[in-house]
Amino acid sequence: MRVGIEVGGTFTDLLCVDGSGGVRVVKVPSVPGRPDEGVHAALRAAGLSVADIGNLVHGSTVATNAVLERSGARVAFVTTRGFRDLLQLQRQNRARIYDLAYHKPLPLVARKDCFEVTERILADGSVETPLDEREIHEELIPGLAAGHYEAVALCLLNSHANPAHERALAEVIAHRLPGPVVALSSTIAREYREYERASTAVIAAYIQPVISAYLARLERQLGERGFKGELSLIQSNGGRTSAQAMRRNPITALFSGPAAGVMGAIRQAELSGHADLITFDMGGTSTDVCLVEGGRAELVSQTEIDGLPVRMPLMDIVTVGAGCGSIVWQDDGGMLRVGPMSAGSDPGPACYGFGGDRPTVTDAHVLRGTIRPAAFLGGAMKIHPEASRQVFDAMADTLGMRPRELADAAIRLAEANIVRAIQLISTERGRDPRDYALVAFGGAGPLHAASIAEELEIGTVLVPPHAGVLSAYGLIASDYRYFVSETHRLVVARDTPDAVRGIYEGMHRKAAAHLSEVGVSADRSEILYTLEMRYVGQAFEIPVHLQPQELPDLTAEELLEGFSRAHRQVFFHSASQQKDVEIVSFRLGLTQPVQRTPVRWEPPDGRGEVAETHRILLGARGMACALSTRWALAAGKALPGPAIFEDVTSTIFVPPGWQARADEHANLILTRTS
């Protein structure tokens, strides 16, 4: 059996595929602070024998929560003399330029825990000042020992160009202080920009003991129950890696949950012939959107968590605080707002009956009629519709609206926030959303998908089977993947292609060696080459992709044309003939495909039929809509909207002017009819 278990903030999702391709799904409440308990609760609810699992792929928010909750390890930061305040100074930019009380993000390491060593490497990698061995043994080591640190992050100046000093320093610390783990910036993010590299190294050191302890506990518990299979984890780049590799570089797990959902969407949509996608994952607290071209999600080289930069290849996913648990509120001017605050899982929306006393998007759907209390989570969870009405009453009086009308307005406002997020990854990056299919999943994504697609003039919406647990499916559908990034600044000239080939050869050897060390063969691996390029003098780079077949005969003219094409797509102009172009960083990815067993998506309890009609409020008017189960439509059959399809893990809403059709791969295809 292959099992994927994804621990989210509200629910833990499990999807199991047996040897014949049969599917079993389970959704249980997560256990905040103890995510491993959610894993075992899901296994018990699914009735699985752990000893029968051959491949278990796991994704969790452990790393993310450690940073957001500031519950990671006690970390010391070591840098070149004169740069002790690097983490505090950060960058000059302000996230909120009109906020007079603005403060920069709080570093994970206090200034008293920052140490300096005498050494200096220049930008070209040459050594100006050697490491001061006496100072290290007589001052640094005693200082680290006195601090009782669990981890040490090293970021010496220009170590991306020459990591010799960082490696030598790490050896001394490991020899003299065997307790703390040591994170090297030149290993974790071998790219220039000192602050971003330092921040990434610190975050890696901060979460490594937490991840190591969590994995050790999980492996021990699984072993006690007879697990002898392979345990792997999903990374932020959408690929899986072994537990051993995750211990070495846990920072790759920071944004693993959203990446798993994108991989599940790609795998399921390609069965129906869709390779250009916008994925739309709406859960309880947030919505994640991502653009996919040719079956491959775009990667970015940097993101932020809690305001702190993280430098690593990860999927270009935009997150907004618009989930079904997002709180509906009024600002100081009396305007209606939705999110980013969320009711979460505790206390949750008012209709859950756990003490929530503020209106949420879920409560709005209950009032509007697009969520039926009797069908929520297949009837496994009791919903209190009167509580939803009560929390909307007071605000409705203030605004001079009826509660159901206010609920409908709140839903449309949440959808407007999501439309804006999709425009960020499409229109603002030179892509027309009308050229893509919208893939909706998560517990709430299929409820909003058609309305959002209509606003963006997208003609096709695809809803995968068991959409509410698609992230768990994405875990077992993902391949092994590893990325190497390095900074090498080269102004494009006639001999540049030879240098590019030489650099990529060395990076390929490193990536293949890493996969081999963690027990993954790179024999059949797919290679992805990406250059970060810019005009000389520009502050930031744009990615330029190279196909493997292009590299052997690559010319300088082709490099310039590729950059010019990418620049036009993003900025609508280029000047490659008039200005010098430089390569700043190189990225190489190796993807090792896993063997895939065909999945048999079948109705859990028979197919069912279109059962009845149901009253909902849409806009300012009530209307009757067809009410059915998710599996009621046989392949090739269609049903016009308005219609609601209910499933154990999600609800699909088909508005007027749309129709739903089931295809042979159990996807529901929603298309516009008017």
CATH number of the domain to which 515 belongs? 3.30.1490
pLDDT of residue 206: 96
- Domain end (from 214, 235, 254): 254
pLDDT of residue 641: 83
Alpha carbon distance 343, 327 (integer Å) = 6
Mean pLDDT of 219-226: 93
Which one has a higher pLDDT value, 30 or 405? 405
Mean pLDDT of 78-83: 97
- Domain end (from 254, 277, 302): 254
The DSSP symbol for 600 reads B
pTM comes to 0.87
pLDDT of residue 611: 56
Torsion sign over Cα 217, 220, 221, 227? positive
With a cut of 70, say whether residue 282 has pLDDT above it: yes
The reply to whether 45 falls in a domain is: no
Alpha carbon distance 207, 67 (integer Å) = 7
Domain range for residue 167? 55-254
Question: By 3-state DSSP, what share of the chain in percent is helix, strand and coil, each rounded to 5?
Answer: 35, 30, 35
pLDDT of residue 165: 97
pLDDT of residue 428: 87
pLDDT of residue 286: 83
pLDDT of residue 609: 54
Alpha carbon distance 674, 198 (integer Å) = 54
State pLDDT tens for residues 4-34. 999 877 788 999 998 888 899 988 888 777 8
Closest C-alpha among 670, 4, 652, 650 to residue 284: 650
The reply to whether 259 falls in a domain is: no
pLDDT of residue 457: 96
The domain total for the chain is 2
Amino acid at 161: A
Alpha carbon distance 290, 260 (integer Å) = 12
The reply to whether 613 falls in a domain is: no
pLDDT of residue 521: 79
The reply to whether 605 falls in a domain is: no
Closest C-alpha among 316, 246, 312, 254 to residue 483: 312
| Angle 227-228-231 from CA coordinates, rounded to 5° | 85
The reply to whether 132 falls in a domain is: yes
The reply to whether 209 falls in a domain is: yes
pLDDT of residue 604: 64
The reply to whether 444 falls in a domain is: no
For residue 368, CA distances in Å to 44, 305, 365, 480, 644 come to 35, 35, 5, 44, 13
Return the exposure string of 631-648: e unless at least 16 CB atoms fall within 10 Å of the residue's CB, then b: bbbeeeeebebbbbbbbb
pLDDT of residue 648: 84
- Domain end (from 576, 592, 608): 592
Confidence band for 555, pLDDT divided at 50, 70 and 90: very high
Residue 273 CB coordination number (10 Å): 9
Closest C-alpha among 103, 625, 640 to residue 369: 625
Start-end of H helices in 544-587 = 556-571
Which residue's structure tokens are 């994504």?
Answer: 445
**SS3 state at 249:** coil
The reply to whether 135 falls in a domain is: yes
Residue 228 CB coordination number (10 Å): 11
